[in-house]
A and B are shown apart, each in its own frame.
Chain A
Amino acid sequence: MSPALMRVLRVVVLLSAVRGAPLATVTLPPVILEPVPLEPVPVPSEPVRVDSGADQNISIPINTEQQQQQQQQQVSLDVDVMLTGELNPNHYPARRAAQVVLHHLNTRYGSPYWWGALRQVHKATAEALGDSGRKYSLEVTLQDQISGTKETCTAEVVFPGGPAGGPPQVTTSYEGKSEINTQAQEEALYNQYNTSQNLLSGHNLPDSYGHVAPGMEPFWHLGGVASSFVMLKESSENTLYNMAQVVSVTQLATENNQLRFNYDVLLHEMVSQEIIHWKLLASWSPQEGVKASQMELLPKCHHCEPPQEH
Chain B
Amino acid sequence: MKESEALQRSGSEYNFGSYQRLEAIYNWMDTLVAEHPKLVTKVLIGSSYENRPMYVLKFSTGGTNRPAIWIDTGIHAREWVSPATGIWTANKIAVDYGKDASLTSLLNTMDIYMLLLANPDGYSYTHDNDRMWRKTRSRSPGSNCRGADPNRNWDSGFGGPGTSRNPCSDLYHGPSANSEVEVSNVVNLIKAHGNFKSFISVHAYSQLLMYPHGYSCKDIPDMAELDTVGQAAVKKLASLYGTRYEVGSICKIIYPASGGSIDWAYDTGIKYSFAFELRDTGLSGFLLPANQIIPTASETWLALKHIMEYVRDNPYYTQH
Contacts and interface: CB of A to CB of B under 8 A. Distances in A.
A133 interface: no
Nearest to B206: A270
Contact of A206 (B127, B244, B284): B284
Contacts of A243: 285
B255 A92 contact: yes
A209 B217 contact: no
A271 B253 contact: no
Contact of A273 (B130, B170, B217): B170
Interface size class of A (residues with CB under 8 A): 35 or more
A302 B168 contact: yes
Nearest to B135: A273
B103 to A, nearest CB: 30
Contacts of B88: none
A47 B173 CA distance: 12
Interface string B198-214: 00000000100000000
B219 to A, nearest CB: 9
B283 A55 contact: no
Given A78-B160, A88-B252, A38 B218 contact: yes
Contacts of B19: 208-209
A115 to B, nearest CB: 8
Nearest to B217: A55
A261 to B, nearest CB: 20
A244 B287 contact: yes
Interface string B229-264: 000000000000000101010011111101000000
Nearest to B208: A90
A15 interface: no
- Specify the main secondary structure of chain A where it touches its partner: loop
- Most B C-beta atoms less than 10 A away, residue of A53, A78, A88, A118: A78
Most chain B beta-carbon neighbours within 10 Å: one of A210, A271, A275, A308: A210
B218 A210 contact: no
B165 A49 contact: yes
Interface of B is mostly: loop
B45 interface: no
A117 B290 contact: no
A207 B168 contact: no
A53 B284 contact: no
B174 to A, nearest CB: 14
A302 B145 contact: yes
A245 interface: yes
Interface residues of B, number: 53
Contacts of A118: 281
Interface in A281-310: 300, 302-303, 305, 307-308
Contacts of B248: 90-91
A78 B171 contact: no
Interface string B111-122: 000000000000
Nearest to B165: A47
A50 B292 contact: no
A244 B286 contact: yes
A172 interface: no
A80 B165 CA distance: 18
Contacts of A38: 216, 218
Contacts of A88: 252
B27 interface: no
B255 A300 contact: no
Contact of A274 (B127, B160, B170, B253): B170
A234 B169 CA distance: 18
B256 A245 contact: no
Interface string A176-211: 000000000000000000000000000000111111
A210 B256 contact: no
Contacts of B171: 49, 272-273
A211 B253 CA distance: 30
Contacts of B286: 244, 268
A92 B248 CA distance: 10
A52 B250 CA distance: 12
Nearest to A57: B218
Interface string A80-116: 1000000010111000000000000000000000000
Contact of A208 (B165, B206, B255, B287): B287
A53 B144 contact: no
A92 B289 contact: no
A275 B132 contact: yes
B182 interface: no
B132 A53 contact: no
Nearest to A53: B256
A52 B168 CA distance: 19
Given A49-B162, A92-B254, A273-B170, A207 B287 contact: yes
A34 interface: yes
B161 A78 contact: yes
Nearest to B252: A91
B131 interface: yes
Contacts of B161: 34, 36, 49-50, 53, 78, 80
18 contacts: A49-B162, A54-B252, A55-B217, A56-B217, A57-B218, A78-B160, A78-B161, A78-B217, A90-B253, A91-B248, A92-B255, A206-B284, A206-B289, A208-B126, A243-B285, A270-B255, A303-B144, A308-B131
Given A78-B217, A78-B256, A303-B144, 8 more contacts: A49-B165, A54-B217, A117-B283, A208-B19, A208-B131, A245-B287, A270-B255, A308-B130
Interface of A: 34, 36, 38, 47, 49-57, 78, 80, 88, 90-92, 117-118, 120, 145, 206-211, 242-245, 266, 268, 270-275, 300, 302-303, 305, 307-308
The 9 closest A-B pairs by CB, nearest first: A55-B217, A210-B289, A242-B282, A36-B160, A273-B170, A50-B161, A206-B287, A275-B132, A305-B129
